[in-house]
Structure 1
Amino acid sequence: MLENLNVLAEIKQLNHRSQMDNNFTQLSLIYGLNGDGKSTLSKIFQLISEKDIPSINSMKSLESDELKTPNFVLRFSASKAITPNNINSLDHNFLVFNQHFIDSNVHSSSKIESSNLQNYYNLCLGSFSVEKQKKIDDLKLENNILTTDKTEFETKLTQRFQGLTVSEITKLKPIKGADSRIAELESKLDDVKAIDVIKKITKPSKLSVSFPELNFDYLDVSVEKISRDATEEIKKHFSNNHKKENKKWVKDGVTLVTENQTCPFCAQGLNESPIYTHYKHFLDETYQVAVNAFTTSNTITTTDLDSIYTALLSVKTDVDTANQCIESWKDRVSLNSLTLELAYLSDLETYIKNLKKETERMESDIFIETDLSETCESIIKILFDAESDIRTLNKSIQSCLNDIQSYISTLESTTEADININITTLKNAIESSKADVKLWIKDRKDRGSRVTLNNKAVKTLREEIENDQKGKISTLSKDINEILQKFGSHVRLIDLEKDYKAKKGNDRFKFGVKFIENELSTSNAADSAKVIGDLLSTGDKNALALAFFFAKVRSGVNANSIIVFDDPMSSLDRHRRHQTKALITKIARNNQVLVMSHDPFFLKELYDYQNNNTISSYFRFESSTQISGTSHYRKSSLISIANLNEETTDPYEQCYKSLLDYCHTPSDDSTIKLDAIRRIRTILEAKIYMSDPNTFLPNEYLGTLIGKVRERKDDQQDIFYIDNETFEDIEDLNEYTGEYHHADGVKTVSNPIDMTELRTNIQKTLECVTRM
């Protein structure tokens, strides 16, 4: 028997350097928080049993001096001490149940196995087979990753190259200017969707300028131009009165008329000359007509010039407006902005002013000598150039309008699907030239070759597992199934058979399991997926591991075997918890047992479960923080303790969880029912006490507390208040649990407890504490 731990030092967080006050007993219960060193201690026991000093040395504390090595001194009966130096003389062996045992001795397939197996559910027990199976799993996992990578490669390709197969993708070629073309098509796609809005965008308007037809002939004023009749009469007069036309005479005659007011013909006064009177009458009438005609023509001409000048001035504004319209279309249609200089407008203005000035003079005397030919020619040329410029500008505007209309027509005749197809084609062309696409194709081939090699290795490993599992499962399956039945597990082991139905000639096992009383041989894919995916939960796997461990202990222990449990309650429900206590107690009758747990309630329950508590003893990890340089380290040692009262002082939480658990999964086990009915009183006592600790005492029982509550319950102003319905329920519950009173000196009874009635009263209890 292991009696004491004298030294456990330089091993991870363990720093136990002195003998404990009390020795280990037949059943030693060790309490420790997570991180205190329970798992470390269980692993040390296992490595000591295997005499594996190198692995023990690998667990050296990080903060230890480099010259120090892990050290241990285990004192056994007959004062025999085992140290690293004499470990080979150890004649005891430790059988350790911990997470390492679960991982090393129970294996159930992951879902990767179900995807390609027809008639094989891969579950094995024992370290040899599990080790081999883990290698298989590693290979399967690698194959799964490789296959997933290949699938992901194909998925990425089909996602990147929309609507194309891998074969089609490899034929794609790059297209020059694809990026800019995609941008154009995406913009066009937006326009197709908004065609009605596009049509309403303002378009540029052509310039409307009316150029006048100018005639400056009216500026040519002479006697001949004034009146042909007058000319003919004068010629006739000279002909009749003068055989020869004397120009000098005519000139002198004009001088006489203008200076001497005498008639050039008779030298008489103008008023007295019948000849002058005759000519004057004729000439005045004709002259006035000519003046009126000049004035009218000049007015029309200058008005037309003013109008065209004003129109040309406004052309610049019209061109700016047209350019604004063109700008609003440029993001859709390739258009050129309009340009019109009209630099000659200032010259036109000058010429028009000069014309007006000279013609105003002529209106007072149309025979004034003036030469406006250059002015008129310049005006005509400027207007000709302006008309030509505007004609050219309107052609540009018409070209813009044609392009805009063509774009709109294209939008109207184009569908969104057509554009999307073109965009996709261009995008695929771009992606096809990227390096990762070529790399994926190469990796796909390499990974396929690796999968083939791994499958060959898997076949070899399965043959090795077959030989190991035949004997192991057939030997222990009866004991394992018996324990699983006690656990209430729906897992059962069935006979192991050979199955040659696997694909590609791979020999596989058919391992039957019992699931909710139905045997599943996993002979079809649907059942296989259900078994593998749903049957072995974490709790089931831990239960199977624990059952396997108990079966091994039953079949293979001797007097020198020391059984170690590290948190055996992990993932076990209340029913399995109870059965585990019973199985551990049974083992402790013949072998020394060490039970380590972070659950003080379980340890106390296990302690209380013993018929003879003298075989049980308590120990606890005591932790402290040590400083080494700038680092802080948690160190633990093992000490003896009398009980776990301090660690189990919260009856309310413990009772509440236990009762709630019973409501969810009621049990007809008499021990469990008795425990539950006692917890009803405990939780009610705790709830009433916590509601007013100043009035109620912590050790008062339910009957006493009810009496105090009755005196105060009707006072609604009291800090403590309980409604009538809740109080009546508490009284009923007190009466129901009265015969199971847990007060000192009261004998417990074993009258049958109805499970349904118990569950109803537990629900009522939980409702009461919730309402209070």
Structure 2
Amino acid sequence: MLKRIKSIQNVGKFKSCKPAAVEFGRITFIYGLNTYGKSTLGDIFSSLRTGKTSAIKARKTIPGDDSKQEITLSFLPEGKNEINVVYSSDSWQNKLPAEVNLHVFDDGFYHDNLFSARQFTRATKEAFSSFVLGEKGVSKAQEISEKNKRKGDLTREAGKLKKNVFNEIPDLAEFLNSAPEANLSELESKIALLRTEYVELRKQKSTSAKILSRKEFRSINWHNEAGVELDALNVALGSSLKPHHEAARNAVAEHIINHFPTDRGAEAWLRQGLSYRKGENCQFCGQYLTIEALDLLSLYEQTFDASYKDNASDISQRLSAAQTKLKRALTDSLRLELERNKEAIVSYPELEGGEYFIKLVELLCKVSDDLYETLHRWDTKLQPLLEEISNLIKRKREVPQDPLPPVDGDEIASIEANLKYLCERYNTLALDLNLVIANFKEQINAQTIDGKIANKEIEGKLIERKILRVKRRDQCDEIIAINKELERLRAEIPRMNNELREEQSDFLKSYYLNLNRHFSRFGSEDFELSKGEDISGHTPVFYLRVKFRGFEVSEKNLEQIFSESDRRALALSVFWAGVTCLDEAERKNAVVVLDDPITSFDCNRMSLAHQEIYDLSLTTRQIIVLSHYDQAVTAYLNVFKNQAAVRLLSIVKNKSSSDLEVLDIDSFVSGEHEKKRELIFKFIYGETNSHSAGDLRVFFEQEISFRFAQQIKATNIFEPNLSDRINRLRDNGVISMQVAQEADKWRLVLNPTHHTWQDNNVEDQRSVARQFMDFVFKELVPA
């Protein structure tokens, strides 16, 4: 228990307070007027309980000086010597003795644990929960809170890592579970090669349309059949016709020899001339032809009859056809095809690294060169041959019935055969090259390239992922550790919450029963309080749910439902239930400090509260009540001062500091009339020389009112004048004539206008006072 306050220096009103001689008792009331320092004492006790010193620091005495704030409290554990608990250098230097459990109800308890601006808040709910659960429960709840906070911190840390380090990594769980590879340089080499290949593919894709439109090798062909045409020509040249009149033919031949300067073209001229004949007259001059002329024409007609004409026409046509085809047997189209294919050779630089492609190109170029050389030979041989054929055709047309020697076409036929072979060889190589090109184009087909690009991207991402796994090994280890701890906390926290809930279930039932009982006893009978639970946040929180006359009240409406007295009663009930629910050992060592548990507007619950204080004192180590409400203190002392030892202390104020002193309980509980009576007796008995003459007159009037109160009420004696009042008491037979006369004499003596005796010496005054008091207590009696 708190045995004494040895000193308080520079704290609030207590600039220099050293009341070491003032001892505390098991029940101690400290009475102090407002502004004397009662709340300062409350803050000191509260600071000692919580260890928080901000309130003490804020109460540094004003005006201040250089001296430090210091407090020394002396506690007396049961069976031990006194132990000092000292506040110095802005902190408590040592803790309360282990045997002492300090509990403080003050204005801070009201605001911290229940109401903030007349409302329940998250902060007040957490404080309420901590108070209700007590140190053990709070310890476990705090452990849960710390784990929840740790979980929140870890979750945020993991979130930061995911955002800042692993944001671009899909399927993070798989990434973290993969083992980092040992050889980073090998991975980097692979990714470099992949990037090169990828860039090349992207280039191919961008040019794929152009590549696909590149020319391929076209087959070449020798479209002539010179050998066949030469054979046909030689057949036509070698053809002959035997006429039906051989004699006529011979005669015409002789006629030509005799009459034509040359036989060349003679027959043709003759045939042409016959075509102009019209009867037996000359077609030029119209004269009648002679017998000789007609005979000669007859010979001509016999020679050049219809069969001759048909044969000549057929031969001419065949010669013309063969000659035309031979003339067309030029090399320009083949050369053009070869030149066009040269463009295909240089159109595929991408294939130049291919050995097979290069080999095919070399062979094709060799065949192409051979073709050019052979075509040159063809051109060289064909022109003289065509001239020879032209001359033979002219001669044959002159004498179509005569066979001519054949044209020698063996050499040109050989060249043509070689051309055909070379074309066939060329086309075989071109086909092979086209297969290579087709395969290449298939590879650079946009769809195919997209597939390859996609595969490269997948492979690249996989390797990059492996590289990242190696490079971010430390961050991976960090987040893996975080995830493991989070997994553990996610399992531990719900389990601990359940354990806490089960452990506290019976206690909370008992607590709320006590809470409702005390709230009702403290005057708030229309309310019912029950447990609310808030599992949000780091700490599971228990709070109060309120019903008024059976209807649940929303927290936002509490201000309208609770009066100020209800709020104070609720705070006191919460505190009281907490103390009374302590186990027996803890309650036995409890020192309970109550700062203004009853105020002037709590008079409706004063008596019950005083009973609770007394009952609590029977099971606790010490009760200390701080109060500025003298009527409440008096009321308690009047009822309980004889049932248990009570110490009454008072905060007094001198010039420079407040201090503590012991008060006489009987004197404190006395009324003003009783106090004046005591002062008069002290003066009569020489205990004091201080005396006011007016006190005797005031005491006399009040004594008559108290002593004859019943008679005054019954006879309606309400005269304000003391003389009239005495006369009415006499007239109504309340006092005798003699008593009335004596009373009136003392009225005159004590009248303020007749206080001449007060100028006499003190002993004379004391004698007058003694005689007056003898009259009052010996003679002033009912008739």
Q: TM-score, normalised by structure 2?
A: 0.36
* CA radius of gyration, larger in: 2
Q: TM-score, normalised by structure 1?
A: 0.37
